[in-house]
Structure 1
Amino acid sequence: MRAADWYAAHGKMPRLFVPEVFSPGDEVALPEGPARHVTRVLRLAESAPLVLFDGQGVEAGVRLVDVSRKRTVARVEAVWSGGVESPLVVHLGQAISKGDRMDYAIQKAVELGVAAITPLYTERGDVRLKGDREEKKLAHWQAVAASACEQSGRAVVPPVNPPITLKAWLEARQEPLRLMLHLATGHIFDRETRPEKAALLIGPEGGLSPDDVAAALAAEFAPLTLGPRVLRTETAPVVALTLLQHYFGDL
């Protein structure tokens, strides 16, 4: 059965991220988080249909067969490949910001089709994570990305990589199109060929420092200006990714 056939037969339904291997006829015990969402938030009963995805591009149409306090089990009825990934592979380097700003940037970047996100330590960034705090924050950010996939229809969950320095991230870049949010002249989107991969650098609340900009320029990053108004660090990736998807992706 195709995805379109499943949705046509059952209408709109919840999508949940469950990192399992799906085969028709198999029964899948939902992990604690999805199970709690099904039973306590959605209050679904046995025989209710829903869609699961494995985070690697595979989706499954399932039906609940056991909903109890101890466990929630679904039977797989159909499996298909997800088909909403962008043809443009964008790696976002996002300077770490405080509070909910980083959550917002990750959520919207995933909705806009980003392929990978790396939180960055920059010169003017004042957030520094160590040890358990970094591990907990990274797990939280990855959960934000998974939730954004549930909402947006993506079946591939982009990785949120462990935070690294801007220098280390720049040294690893090989994408043919590399952009940083900074004052610029000209129009970077006037290209004869459409790139398949791109790297996008977003600075912190105070912007990239002169040393950060110099390092990015040395790594062959081109400046990109998003108009005359100053955007917040969590708004900038939304606008920049929208433009990238419009010119080179699928918007």
Structure 2
Amino acid sequence: MRIPRIYHPAPLVVGQTIALSDDAAGHVGRVLRMSAGQTLELFDGSNQVFSAEIVQADKKQVQVRLLGSETDNRESPLFLHLGQVMSRGEKMEFTIQKSIELGVNVITPLFSERCGVKLDAERLNKKLQQWQKIAIGACEQCGRNQIPEIRPVMNLETWCQEQDDALKLNLHPRASASINTLPLPVERVRLLIGPEGGLSAEEIAMTARYQFTDILLGPRVLRTETTALTAITALQVRFGDLG
């Protein structure tokens, strides 16, 4: 059986005996039904991974002893900040999960004119908590040891006008440039993905004022969640660590 990878939200030190977080303990104790003497791999958001042995486990609490550690850097040389206009239902969760597997470092959910999601502050906060759990789960699954940042939801123009030395890209079906025509080298990218209905003409003009470059992925019109993952993959192949 593959050794489970578990995130711990506090710095880890070899030799410690610690209690796992409530979510992690529930997964290890109730879902995996692991018991004393079995081993885990823990990570704390640094590039260190820790081998650990369970010393006590029940349905409410799991305690482990940290046996050793090693450096394990799985991060791409390309720093990617995804600005994703929120999509309905499970599409947003899917985009967050898969973009993290592909190496995105920061995700900012956005509101735009044609955004189909309308949520009050309380529901937005619950969504943010759920997205953060999805980010942790994606890292546990894919082997990343640094947890990407999921930022609070903001307005599209507020995000576009943030000061950033990254290359700013906006996917547009009538753009003349493509990812393959972008000049090398590129170390940081701020990638904007619009809503299911696309950005309005006014919003596209606004992104140009903030020095976003329109790029084309190909001849077919992609759904918003497909667009994000395709663009991230293409950027990682050209500037990052895929391929």
- For 2:73 and 2:206, the matched residues in 1 are separated by 37
Bigger drift between 153-162 and 46-55 goes to 46-55
Give the aligned length. 241
Q: Which residue of 2 is the match for residue 212 of structure 1? A: 203
> Could you state the TM-score of these two structures normalised by the residue count of structure 1?
0.92
Task: Pick from 168, 172, 178 the counterpart of residue 162 of structure 2.
Answer: 172
Please name the residue that 1:197 is paired with.
188
Unaligned runs of 5+ in 1: 1-10
Counterpart Cα distance in 1 of 2:178 and 2:115: 28
Alpha-carbon separation, structure 1, partners of 2:169 and 2:204: 11
Counterpart in the other structure of 2:95: 105
CA RMSD of aligned residues (A): 1.4
Cα offsets for 1:53-89 (capped at 9, x unmatched): 1123332111101112442101001122331101100
Aligned partners of 2:200 and 2:71: how far apart in 1? 43
8 Å Cα contact 1:92-1:199 kept in structure 2: yes
* More divergent stretch after superposition (59-68 vs 174-183): 174-183
User: Could you tell me which residue of structure 1 aligns to residue 64 of structure 2?
Assistant: 74
Partner of 2:132, secondary structure, is helix
Mind listing any 5+ residue stretches in structure 2 that lack a counterpart? none
Q: Which moved more, 1:142-151 or 1:179-188?
A: 179-188
Change (3 A) 1:69 1:103: closer
- CA offsets 1:65-114 (integer angstroms, 9 cap, x no match): 11124421010011223311011001000001110000000001100000
Deviation at 1:33, TM superposition (A): 0.8
SS in 2 for 1:16: strand
Q: TM-score, normalised by structure 2?
A: 0.95
Deviation at 1:133, TM superposition (A): 0.8
1:149 to 139, 148, 151: 139
How far off is 1:132 after superposition?
1.3
Match of 1:242 in 2: 233
Q: How does 1:1-251 map to 2 (within 5 A)?
A: 12-183=2-173, 184-251=175-242
* Aligned residues with identical type, % of pairs: 42
Instruction: Quote the offset at 1:129 in angstroms.
Output: 2.6
Displacement over 6 Å in runs of 4+: none
Assess if the C-alpha contact under 8 Å between 1:25 and 1:75 holds in 2. yes
In the TM superposition, what is the alpha-carbon distance from 1:173 to its structure 2 partner?
Answer: 4.2
